[in-house]
């Protein structure tokens, strides 16, 4: 009788252990699905304020890491090359933004595409990420007033020419 209790006890512990492992994996899958659905909600909050471009693809990289970023591919629908793009999160009181530019002068060729990313650390809680404005090779701008004014001001006030000479990688 002692052997039967030992065998039954071992089987019970083994079953309990397998259940724990199974629940652990199911919990990870459920957590992963929750994270993914939250990511999809965040991606729906990418706004385009520039008539001459189209956002053709979006995604998240390393969403649960400090290096996480929203990435997106834009297409320049105009006949003018783009030299600078401003991406912003926030409002007039609290905003975080990045201006993309290139040393060669043309960031996105006419009718071309460009991939960029915006760090999740720069996303202001409760505000979407938006492509706020672009500057074309002829110096004209398009987008929301805030971004267009900022692009003009940055170009006029950058005495070291560092902003307008920053390098970025173009998508292949």
Q: Residue length, the chain? A: 172
CATH number of 46-165: 2.60.40
CB atoms within 10 A of CB 103: 10
The pLDDT value recorded for residue 158 is 67
pLDDT at 18: 46
Name residues whose C-beta falls within 8 Å of residue 147's C-beta, 6 or more positions apart in sequence: 49, 86, 88, 97, 132, 133
pLDDT of residue 71: 92
Q: Compute the distance between CA of residue 74 and CA of residue 5 in angstroms, rounded to an integer.
A: 68
One digit per residue, the tens of pLDDT, for the chain of length 172 reads 555 544 444 445 444 444 454 444 444 444 444 444 344 334 556 899 999 999 999 999 998 888 899 999 999 999 999 999 999 998 878 888 899 987 678 999 999 999 999 998 898 888 889 999 999 999 999 999 989 999 999 888 765 555 444 433 333 3
What's the CA gap between 107 and 169, in Å, rounded?
9
Q: Where are the domains of the chain?
A: 1-44, 46-165
Nearest C-alpha neighbor of 87 from the set 75, 95, 98: 98
pLDDT for 103 equals: 65
Alpha-carbon distance 95 to 118, whole Å? Answer: 13
Q: How far is Cα 53 from Cα 41, in angstroms, rounded to an integer?
A: 22
pLDDT confidence of residue 25: 44
Query: Following DSSP, what letter does each residue of 62-82 receive, concatenated?
Result: STTSTT-EEEEEEEE-SSS-E
């Amino acid at each position: 009788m002692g052997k039967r209790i030992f065998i039954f006890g071992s089987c019970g512990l083994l079953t309990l252990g397998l259940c724990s492992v199974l629940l652990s994996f199911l919990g990870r899958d459920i957590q992963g699905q929750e994270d993914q659905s939250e990511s999809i909600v965040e991606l729906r909050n990418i706004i385009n304020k520039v008539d001459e471009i189209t956002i053709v693809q979006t995604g998240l990289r390393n969403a649960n890491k400090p290096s996480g970023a929203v990435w997106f591919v834009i297409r320049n629908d105009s006949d003018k090359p783009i030299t600078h793009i401003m991406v912003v999160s926030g409002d007039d009181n609290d905003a975080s933004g990045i201006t993309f530019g290139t040393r060669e002068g043309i960031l996105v060729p006419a009718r071309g595409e460009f991939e960029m990313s915006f760090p999740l650390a720069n996303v202001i809680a409760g505000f979407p990420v938006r492509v706020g404005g672009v500057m074309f090779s002829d110096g004209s701008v398009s987008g929301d007033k805030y971004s267009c004014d900022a692009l003009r001001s940055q170009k006029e006030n950058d005495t070291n020419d560092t902003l307008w000479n920053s390098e970025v990688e173009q998508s292949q």
